[in-house]
Amino acid sequence: MPWATALVLVLAGLCGSSLGQYNEEEDLAWLQYYLRQSRASSYNYVPYYEEEEESPAYAYSYPSATGTEPEAEPEPQQAAPWRCPQECDCPPNFSSAMYCDTRNLRYLPFVPSRMKYVYFQNNLVTSIQEGAFDNATELEWLALHNNQIGSDRMGKRVFGKLRRLERLYMNNNNLTRVPSPLPRSLRELHLSYNHISKVPSNALEGLENLTALYLSHNFIFEVGASLKGLGSLVLADLSYNNLRRVPDGLPASLEQLYLEYNYISAIPDEYFRASPRLLYVRMSHNGLTNQGLSSSTFNSSSILELDLSYNRLQKIPRVNTNLENLYLQGNQINEFSISSFCSVVDVMNYSRLQVLRLDGNEIKRNAVPPDAPLCLRRATVIEI
């Protein structure tokens, strides 16, 4: 095994990444990044030069942050679409990656056309000019997180020509709406920790390849049916928002749904049946009541983990026998109903539940029915 591949495997294990979702070229991009970050001294490099191509001169403007003293404006780069900007690092042994992170930049430097992976995170950027990425049409990863970018200071079609972009990181900014339009090639969209209050139904239109959507820690009160057309979506994180109802029309491909820390009090009957691959549902810290649930709300054979902790439930909701982990702590439950887990209790019919948490409720320890061990024979943790 080549040493670079072996080191990627070690680094991926340390960082909690799954190599299954990246190809070898992408692994080398992250490898170069972590090697560079781990060095005590600054990265010294010889700029990479490709064979010079004829190209018109490129003039670029550099806006400064509002209310701050502007930096001296650098000289515009002339007729050099292949040259690494002086503010950034472009490793000579990985010429398609450009590192401009953590440099107190207030503007986005020119991106050479050969770049596929560009990192602008941890800066002071407040705006993105129209045409900022028009030259870099090969971009696949674009990291803009931990800046001060506002929705009103972005060009209307700044991502319009990035037809190969797969991952866009814009979490921890000042966005008030979902950027639009977005490339149809997008696979991951990171918009957590912004100021977004609404996701219109057409905001994510055309993103048929999107597999992961991160919108946690915003102020979203409405998402409508914006998830419905996302035919490849596997993970949707809408936790820590102001939702009062669940999203309409979950996609059939969904496997993970995170809605904790909202204000949801009810779930429509058979709501989860639309997503037959759904494995993990987290709805803790909402306002769910038994009146807002039907007897079949959680009777989905695919769900393996269900978190309903810290709601207003007074009874244990009925769950499917395939469920493995159920978290109900911090509710107002006052009885242990075995029928919530097993409609029939005998040798052949039992629950696959392994973890059941009922602590922080009003149930007495002696309230456990005598047939509970037969129904919950797979359980290794039961907390009351």
**How far is the C-alpha of 157 from the C-alpha of 73, rounded, in Å?**
25
User: Could you identify the residue written with the tokens 């009957």?
Assistant: 269
**How far is the C-alpha of 15 from the C-alpha of 105, rounded, in Å?**
27
Q: What is the pLDDT of residue 275?
A: 96
By three-state DSSP, how is residue 192 classified? coil
The partner residues of 213 in beta bridges, in order of sequence, read 189, 236
The amino acid present at 93, given as its one-letter code, is N
Q: What is the pLDDT of residue 80?
A: 56
DSSP class of 72: P
Q: What is the mean pLDDT of each successive set of 10 residues along the chain, which is 384 residues long?
A: 42 41 46 44 29 30 39 41 86 93 95 95 96 93 98 92 97 96 96 97 94 98 93 98 96 98 95 96 98 93 97 96 97 94 86 96 86 92 92
Cα separations in angstroms, 142 against 65, 121, 145, 381: 21, 9, 9, 43
DSSP class of 363: -
Of the CA atoms within 13 Å of residue 354, those in its CB half-sphere come to 5
pTM of the model: 0.78
Q: What is the pLDDT of residue 344?
A: 86
The amino acid present at 82, given as its one-letter code, is W
- The CA-to-CA distance between both ends of the chain, in Å, stands at 51
- 40: exposed, middle or buried (C-beta count within 10 Å: 0-12, 13-18, 19+)? exposed
Phi, psi (degrees; rounded to nearest 5) at 348:
-90, -20
Structure tokens at 47: 């700029």
Can you give the length of the chain in residues? 384
Return the number of other C-beta atoms located less than 10 Å from residue 278's C-beta.
21
**How far is the C-alpha of 226 from the C-alpha of 175, rounded, in Å?**
18
The partner residues of 257 in beta bridges, in order of sequence, read 236, 281
By three-state DSSP, how is residue 174 classified? strand
Structure tokens at 170: 């814009």
**How far is the C-alpha of 267 from the C-alpha of 157, rounded, in Å?**
37
The answer to whether 266 and 294 have CB atoms below 8 angstroms apart is: no
DSSP class of 282: E
Which is it for strands 117-119 and 97-99: parallel, antiparallel or unpaired? parallel
**How far is the C-alpha of 359 from the C-alpha of 361, rounded, in Å?**
6
Write out the DSSP string of 312-361.
--SSPPPB-TT--EEE-TTS------GGGT-SS-SSS------EEE-TTS
Phi, psi (degrees; rounded to nearest 5) at 316:
-75, 120
Q: What is the pLDDT of residue 82?
A: 67
From the list 384, 316, 315, the residue with the least C-alpha distance to 351 is 316
**How far is the C-alpha of 171 from the C-alpha of 188, rounded, in Å?**
12
From the list 347, 346, 300, 297, the residue with the least C-alpha distance to 324 is 300
**How far is the C-alpha of 196 from the C-alpha of 335, rounded, in Å?**
41
Write out the DSSP string of 208-277.
TT--EEE--SS---B-TTTTTT-TT--EEE--SS--SSPPSS--TT--EEE--SS------TTGGGG-TT
The answer to whether 143 and 165 have CB atoms below 8 angstroms apart is: no
Q: What is the pLDDT of residue 345?
A: 80
Task: Assess whether the previous peptide bond of 181 is cis (omega < 30° from 0).
Answer: yes
